[in-house]
Chain A
């Protein structure tokens, strides 16, 4: 019938051909042009199983491990295999109830699916692990999995060692994908600074997985696998016994201390109070402890030794003397006729502790007697030195000296987040005083006050410069890295000798050091004396003010102390700050003395142990923390109420209602005149700084 339709056969053939052509085009597109599908297929089916290396161990100078690795256990469950088990028995072992058990099983299923193991309980306490280990065979689907954990055998050096934590998204982003979710990264301290050395090299084992994410074998017979390389160990200058003693002495005190070996710049001990036990951040309760410390206004995680800003006060005077000597504005024989106050600027400030004639008859006496007038004068002579031509240029020169002493600049210690203290630039004074100021305006810089601020580390480093008569090494903890080779540049900068002030003659240094030795033998720090050791030291006492409840409150003075010993062959230089505790000689000096004795004699005399107990038992925590904590907690509760509308937390802080605990506001203080030179000044670290709103002459 339809022979005349034969041409339609061609059309049908064309339709077939066209459709096949389209299919082939799409295949070409998928298989040849798009490259993403290969990668997607790899992601689908190949699982790079990361083999974690052991992190490096950190040793002290005698080879004791301060930071070590240990194995803890996680209880892991594979939900699909955990069927028909004795739930009640397991719950009894774990001391949880069956609802909690069901909740965790659901979580496990939700997190990793029923076929893959998920953590049921992590970091089991040793007793629980022992109980489970015996009985685990009764519970199919449950297993104990090893997990390496950091441990601190001496319960010490928390601020130095730092802690590790899981890499968060920002770290992963910054590392350009080097770190992955679940990796542990050093988050502070040496753990963070030496992360690359300590972490070692991850190994990867490529495994084939199926559609349920079960691993079914190794990929390409393991030909792409790489082994894990363990992290390298660090050898430090820390003397763990001195470190432990230092931390014990700083118990219940706010402040910091640093002890450095002047010959090498190696840090022997560094403590900051309040402190915490480093093991609190590794065990099962690490999250809880971390949260608690974060909310504590006392800032236990803050390392005040490198981040705290303090007016050096009288401890600055040896530096001021050296500047004067180097500039030639004074000589060892220069004296100053101080009658109890400095009168040259017209306002009679600063006042001086002594008023007997001749207490500042020469340089050595002026240090031993800590004469404020003498050093105000030295400062003025230095900046008004005619050879600079004007106070501003003179001040800029003086600031250069300060930088040479390591003040106002970061030392470059091998810890992250170091603070730099503050030696203000000329422009700061220009701004504050609208360009009209002279050496009288900021003359208290000469006695370590005004806007000058430094970290305890910087003070200790300045002591090293004096002890070494002009040179220093960048303070650092790590002496060597195990398996170090030429490719390692990490420690290179700590081997460089800095000689900023070696041009000052040894005779000038000897004069200043003699004055400092007199401080111990005849002056304000007699309690420091150790038989058989010549100590050079300087005490300091700085008045503290703080704005609390919108009122300026005078706090107890900061107790400061710097020293080095033995004089002839300096082996340890120390700076100690104890906040709000009184005179420099009262608390800071005995602490430094004990540390020196411990380090130099390797032991303490028996009668000194009583002193250790006395100091460590003394609680010198300022009372204002209680009030600050209340303000902090109640405002957090208020923010919570704003966000969630839940006011139960806030009720605790309100006056009405039972059980409200409100610390009384601090007692009214007599109004003090605000010194004009402090207007507009902003402290460098607003969060933690105990702000110095008023600078008054120190006594010591």
Chain B
């Protein structure tokens, strides 16, 4: 490719492409490790499209073809059509409502023959394009609340729709775009606010209401004491502290219970309480109708994480070896081809293998940020940041879930998890970035 078509390869970032190949290779190997049965003819089952690793292999070839097409496309095409794609994405999401098929507790999948399409998954690509387009407009002044609101709306509209389709996991992914906005000048206070809110919610779950109330109040009192000089000069500060105190108390007393009783589904609440090892205190009051029997769901979730931790933990320092994992080979970890694929690596190659694997991911993310920062065009930079953020979010949530640091949220590990849609979406996303990067000398708006 490199030699025959110098026009395509010119400016293409080969480091990213090699890292991509490496990751997809690891992915197919992991799926092979998880699903290969002794005495299967290896070559034959790799080509027959019947086994999961064979299918993933063909998905990879399709992805490559698609990637090649993207590299052949003029990069202006993406800036020009960004908004169109966004509209198409939203329409697809809306089409799900009348045409969905219920699969595994989610209503977000359209089935065309044997092919399942999950628009909420694909749509993050379109959101990335549209957000980059909006932020790169000359007239967008991102320090103004109006622009901030519009950017938030672009990002969160698909998220809200997918929540309505009981697909909370993918909806969460859209929050990763706030990292892009942060890079483009969203005031840091938003990030701090979000972080504080998260801490407050976690504290509400962990601490007794009375203790939390006392803690918040003491923090407020200490803050007042430290700032007593400034307060003398500026009376408004007193109100500000009071307001923050009031908001915090209101959040912990009213907002969090409301969230857990009326917004989240029961099994999601259970998952969160499983993670922190507490009994769900809202179990009887939750009014949100579960999609499926939440009892079996809860048992499964607990079981999944437990088995996943056992599999990863049993890997030890160097792992048990290729195709020798007893946990992953005999289906102890459910969903291990898809969401829990990391168990295979953890068990087979141990801490060393997992460390190398994480390093590859980290190198990819680092490289993407480097690429983003070297863009002259805002659109390309925003888009590249979007790719990094989405990848990062997927990796972080997925890995944390398998090692018991996050509640069970069913989102795939990019390039590794079995699944055609996921692989195709991430490939297209990455190759659009590579195409944009190859044209970084051109000024795009």
Which of chain B's residues has its CB closest to A214's CB? B330
**Contact between A13 and B405 (Cβ–Cβ < 8 Å)?**
no
Task: Give the CA-CA distance A19 to B354 in the complex, in Å.
Answer: 15
Q: Is the CB of A363 closer than 8 A to any CB of chain B?
A: no
Instruction: Given A40-B313, A45-B332, verify A1-B354 contact (CB < 8 Å).
Output: no
Q: Is the CB of B327 closer than 8 A to any CB of chain A?
A: yes
**Contact between A5 and B309 (Cβ–Cβ < 8 Å)?**
no
Contact of A27 among B140, B351, B392 (CB under 8 A): B351
Q: Which residues of B contact A13 (CB under 8 A)?
A: 366, 369
Chain B interface mostly: helix
Task: Give the CA-CA distance A15 to B350 in the complex, in Å.
Answer: 25
Q: Is the CB of B72 closer than 8 A to any CB of chain A?
A: no
Contact of A37 among B310, B366, B385, B392 (CB under 8 A): B310
Task: Give the CA-CA distance A622 to B260 in the complex, in Å.
Answer: 75
Shortest A411–chain B CB gap in Å is: 55
| Chain B stretch 242-288: residues in CB contact (< 8 A) with chain A | none
**Contact between A210 and B330 (Cβ–Cβ < 8 Å)?**
yes
Contact string against B for A residues 12-54, beta-carbon threshold 8 Å, 1 for contact and 0 otherwise = 1101110110111011101110101110111011100000000
Task: Give the CA-CA distance A210 to B366 in the complex, in Å.
Answer: 40
Which of chain B's residues has its CB closest to A36's CB? B313
**Contact between B351 and A28 (Cβ–Cβ < 8 Å)?**
yes
**Contact between A44 and B392 (Cβ–Cβ < 8 Å)?**
no
Q: Is the CB of B49 closer than 8 A to any CB of chain A?
A: no
Contact string against A for B residues 421-439, beta-carbon threshold 8 Å, 1 for contact and 0 otherwise = 0000000000000000000
**Contact between A16 and B358 (Cβ–Cβ < 8 Å)?**
no
Shortest A7–chain B CB gap in Å is: 10
Shortest A249–chain B CB gap in Å is: 63
| Chain A stretch 144-199: residues in CB contact (< 8 A) with chain B | none
Segment among B105-113, B154-162, B179-187, B200-208 that sits at the interface with chain A: B179-187
Instruction: Given A24-B358, A31-B316, A37-B313, verify A9-B373 contact (CB < 8 Å).
Output: yes
Shortest A2–chain B CB gap in Å is: 5
Instruction: Given A16-B362, A27-B355, A31-B346, verify A41-B404 contact (CB < 8 Å).
Output: no
Segment among B81-89, B229-237, B395-403, B409-417 that sits at the interface with chain A: B395-403
Task: Give the CA-CA distance A293 to B262 in the complex, in Å.
Answer: 63
**Contact between B369 and A216 (Cβ–Cβ < 8 Å)?**
no
**Contact between B311 and A41 (Cβ–Cβ < 8 Å)?**
yes
Q: Is the CB of B326 closer than 8 A to any CB of chain A?
A: yes
Pick from B142, B346, B355, B399 the residue with the most CB of A within 10 Å.
B399
| Chain B stretch 297-328: residues in CB contact (< 8 A) with chain A | 307, 309-317, 326-327
Task: Give the CA-CA distance A44 to B142 in the complex, in Å.
Answer: 55
What's the count of A-B pairs with C-beta under 8 Å? 125
Shortest B331–chain A CB gap in Å is: 4
| Chain B stretch 146-204: residues in CB contact (< 8 A) with chain A | 179, 182-185
Contact of B396 among A2, A19, A40, A45 (CB under 8 A): A19
Q: Which residues of A contact B373 (CB under 8 A)?
A: 6, 9
Q: Is the CB of B127 closer than 8 A to any CB of chain A?
A: no
Task: Give the CA-CA distance A17 to B38 in the complex, in Å.
Answer: 39
Shortest B155–chain A CB gap in Å is: 17
Q: Is the CB of B365 closer than 8 A to any CB of chain A?
A: yes
Task: Give the CA-CA distance A16 to B183 in the complex, in Å.
Answer: 14
Task: Give the CA-CA distance A321 to B358 in the complex, in Å.
Answer: 95
Q: Which residues of B contact A31 (CB under 8 A)?
A: 312-313, 315-317, 346, 350-351, 354
- Chain A: interface residue total (CB-CB under 8 A): 39
**Contact between B362 and A27 (Cβ–Cβ < 8 Å)?**
no
**Contact between A45 and B378 (Cβ–Cβ < 8 Å)?**
no
Shortest B334–chain A CB gap in Å is: 8
**Contact between B315 and A211 (Cβ–Cβ < 8 Å)?**
no
Q: Which residues of B contact A216 (CB under 8 A)?
A: 330
Task: Give the CA-CA distance A40 to B309 in the complex, in Å.
Answer: 10
Contact of A2 among B183, B316, B317, B326 (CB under 8 A): B183
Q: Is the CB of A208 closer than 8 A to any CB of chain B?
A: yes
Q: Which residues of A contact B330 (CB under 8 A)?
A: 45, 208-211, 216
Task: Give the CA-CA distance A363 to B243 in the complex, in Å.
Answer: 114
Task: Give the CA-CA distance A671 to B327 in the complex, in Å.
Answer: 80
Task: Give the CA-CA distance A211 to B365 in the complex, in Å.
Answer: 36
Q: Which residues of B contact A23 (CB under 8 A)?
A: 358, 396, 399-400, 403, 405
Q: Which residues of B contact A9 (CB under 8 A)?
A: 183, 369, 372-373
Q: Which residues of A contact B354 (CB under 8 A)?
A: 24, 27, 31
Q: Is the CB of A8 closer than 8 A to any CB of chain B?
A: yes
Shortest A80–chain B CB gap in Å is: 16
Q: Which residues of B contact A37 (CB under 8 A)?
A: 309-310, 312-314
Shortest A8–chain B CB gap in Å is: 5
Instruction: Given A44-B310, A211-B330, verify A5-B358 contact (CB < 8 Å).
Output: no
Shortest A40–chain B CB gap in Å is: 5
Task: Give the CA-CA distance A23 to B403 in the complex, in Å.
Answer: 8
Contact of B403 among A6, A15, A16, A30 (CB under 8 A): A30
**Contact between A12 and B310 (Cβ–Cβ < 8 Å)?**
no
Shortest B19–chain A CB gap in Å is: 15
| Chain B stretch 337-396: residues in CB contact (< 8 A) with chain A | 346-347, 350-351, 354-355, 358, 361-362, 365-366, 369, 372-373, 378, 385, 388, 392, 396
Q: Which residues of B contact A15 (CB under 8 A)?
A: 179
Task: Give the CA-CA distance A1 to B138 in the complex, in Å.
Answer: 8
Q: Which residues of B contact A208 (CB under 8 A)?
A: 326, 330
Task: Give the CA-CA distance A211 to B378 in the complex, in Å.
Answer: 52
**Contact between B317 and A12 (Cβ–Cβ < 8 Å)?**
no
Task: Give the CA-CA distance A229 to B408 in the complex, in Å.
Answer: 49
Q: Which residues of B contact A5 (CB under 8 A)?
A: 183-185
Task: Give the CA-CA distance A414 to B396 in the complex, in Å.
Answer: 68
Q: Which residues of A contact B372 (CB under 8 A)?
A: 9
Task: Give the CA-CA distance A28 to B313 in the complex, in Å.
Answer: 9
**Contact between A32 and B403 (Cβ–Cβ < 8 Å)?**
no
Q: Which residues of A contact B369 (CB under 8 A)?
A: 9, 12-13, 16
**Contact between A38 and B182 (Cβ–Cβ < 8 Å)?**
no
**Contact between A27 and B346 (Cβ–Cβ < 8 Å)?**
yes
Which of chain B's residues has its CB closest to A30's CB? B313
Q: Which residues of A contact B140 (CB under 8 A)?
A: 1
Task: Give the CA-CA distance A468 to B107 in the complex, in Å.
Answer: 95
Task: Give the CA-CA distance A38 to B309 in the complex, in Å.
Answer: 10
Contact of B327 among A19, A20, A22, A45 (CB under 8 A): A45
Task: Give the CA-CA distance A8 to B346 in the complex, in Å.
Answer: 33
Which of chain B's residues has its CB closest to A217's CB? B38
Q: Which residues of A contact B184 (CB under 8 A)?
A: 1-2, 5
Q: Which residues of B contact A27 (CB under 8 A)?
A: 312, 346, 351, 354-355, 358, 403
Pick from A12, A210, A216 the residue with the most CB of B within 10 Å.
A12
Which of chain A's residues has its CB closest to B37's CB? A216
Q: Which residues of B contact A20 (CB under 8 A)?
A: 358, 361-362
Shortest A215–chain B CB gap in Å is: 11
**Contact between B365 and A16 (Cβ–Cβ < 8 Å)?**
yes
Q: Which residues of A contact B182 (CB under 8 A)?
A: 8, 11-12
Task: Give the CA-CA distance A4 to B226 in the complex, in Å.
Answer: 32
Task: Give the CA-CA distance A699 to B317 in the complex, in Å.
Answer: 86
Task: Give the CA-CA distance A42 to B332 in the complex, in Å.
Answer: 12
28 chain-A/chain-B pairs, Cβ below 8 angstroms = A1-B140, A5-B184, A9-B372, A11-B182, A13-B369, A15-B179, A19-B392, A23-B400, A24-B354, A27-B346, A27-B351, A27-B355, A30-B313, A30-B403, A31-B312, A31-B313, A31-B354, A37-B312, A37-B314, A38-B316, A40-B310, A41-B347, A42-B326, A44-B310, A45-B326, A45-B327, A211-B331, A217-B38
> Which chain B residues have a beta carbon within 8 Å of chain A's beta carbons?
38, 140, 142, 179, 182-185, 307, 309-317, 326-327, 330-332, 346-347, 350-351, 354-355, 358, 361-362, 365-366, 369, 372-373, 378, 385, 388, 392, 396, 399-400, 403-405
| A-B interface, 5 closest residue pairs, ranked by CB to CB distance from nearest | A37-B313, A41-B314, A45-B326, A210-B330, A31-B351
Q: A2-B184, A9-B183, A210-B330 are in contact. List 20 more A-B contacts (CB 8 A).
A: A1-B142, A5-B183, A5-B185, A12-B179, A15-B179, A16-B365, A16-B388, A19-B392, A23-B405, A24-B354, A27-B346, A27-B358, A31-B317, A41-B314, A42-B326, A44-B326, A45-B330, A45-B332, A210-B331, A211-B332
